[in-house]
Structure 1
Amino acid sequence: MRTDWDPVPPAEVHELFAALAAPWWLAGGYAVEQALGRSLREHGDIDVLVLRRDHLAVQQVLRGWEWWAADPPGALRPWQSGEILPAEVCDVWCRPAADRPWRIQLMIDESDGECWTSRRNPRVRREVRSIGRTGASGIPYLAPEILLFYKAKDTRPKDEADFAALLPLLTPGQRRWLAEAIGDTYGAHPWLAHASPG
């Protein structure tokens, strides 16, 4: 099976997902760049986040594509048409055909009524309408403090760079939310000293 990636550019993702009658957001590195309004680096993939309640609708948006669910601890298997994915599956790789590179990584997160709840900690929650922002290009992306919350787990050099780039953009309220979410989920963390509002 091919393992190479050729990420769909954000503008094309926007065109594809315009047909989705449910909220969606860019996540990961491309979302960081939407928040900053500038490029930071090359990207190995592109992440699109949807709520689990809406995940089946993505099959209609990407009709004719192949969808492969990442079953923990990471084995890929076909996501069948109409199959409701179990709670432990929160990652789907998508490509137009078997002989093409992977193009979109679908991330699936949880919700409870009109509240988003983190798949890493159900106590970390917000109203769905408050978890996204819209870039100058009109592309929806995950709020910076939520991006950083997810990036705080097992940080890599690019996550540290994203933290340094995004932190100055956060309001005191966003910093407070981030510090509380990190502390409640990961415990002691080196970002806490910087994320907590003064």
Structure 2
Amino acid sequence: MRTDFDYWQTYPLETIISLFDTLDIQWGIGGGVALDLYYGFKTRNHEDIDIIIFVKDAAEVIHLLQDFSLFKAENGILTPYTYEDKMDDSFSIWVSEEEDSPFVFEILLISTREDFWIYKRNSDIRGSTDELFLLNESNIPYIKPEIQLLYKMDGSHIRDKDIIDFEKFVPLLGADEKIWLKKQLTVQGNTYMEHKLLK
């Protein structure tokens, strides 16, 4: 088990792209870095970097990372990932080059059903798998901003930086994206952030 949650030396985007582009799967950058890709430049410092994949593609990604050290992050605990672990969207995978070296990126898993991605906390929230990611002008895939903002408002404890991101990026969304996000926040039960969209 590791407890050094802040021990990060994230890979450059170029390194991640060269690694994941060897796979014939859908994937994209997530988190605050994804919002920066949407915005067009870096808006704040990012301690880590998220890679989003579908659960159905996890085995292929794990094979790609067989020379790395992988850790299962669940309920605030980091334990070594084992191949016996069932893959689902209840945990993420932190990746480092060695057992005690800095973490270089995190893998977030999204479940699918047929051609739809499923929001992990409410299966009524879903969308086409072909419409989860966008490409920036450099062809870097990243999760759509309205979907990323929904995930940032997830859970019982919302971090200050996620609220800052929400308030910064919501005004930049198009009308359709705001309507979608407002609807899903209502389904999610987050009325506080839903009301902020009305400003």
- What does the per-residue CA deviation read over 1:125-170, in whole Å, with 9 as the maximum and x for residues that have no partner? 0000111111122111000000110111333221122123322321
Match of 1:7 among 10, 27, 46: 10
Percentage of identical aligned residues: 26
- Which deviates more, 122-131 or 88-97? 88-97
Partner Cα distance (1:7, 1:39) in 2: 15
Matches within 5 A, 1:46-195: 46-71=49-74, 73-81=75-83, 83=84, 85-87=86-88, 89-153=90-154, 154-189=157-192, 191-195=193-197
Q: CA RMSD in A?
A: 1.8
Partner Cα distance (1:138, 1:88) in 2: 26
Partner Cα distance (1:8, 1:133) in 2: 21
Change (3 A) 1:86 1:55: closer
Match of 1:33 among 18, 33, 36: 36
* Structure 2: 5+ residue stretches without partners: none
Partner Cα distance (1:127, 1:138) in 2: 20
Q: How many angstroms does 1:11 deviate by?
A: 2.0
Normalised to the residue count of structure 2, the TM-score between the two structures is 0.89
SS at match of 2:67: coil
SS at match of 2:41: coil
SS at match of 1:56: helix
* Structure 1: 5+ residue stretches without partners: none
Change (3 A) 1:88 1:174: closer
Q: How many angstroms does 1:99 deviate by?
A: 3.5
**Does the aligned pair in 2 maintain the 1:50–1:109 contact within 8 Å?**
yes
Partner Cα distance (1:48, 1:96) in 2: 16
Normalised to the residue count of structure 1, the TM-score between the two structures is 0.90
**Does the aligned pair in 1 maintain the 2:55–2:89 contact within 8 Å?**
no
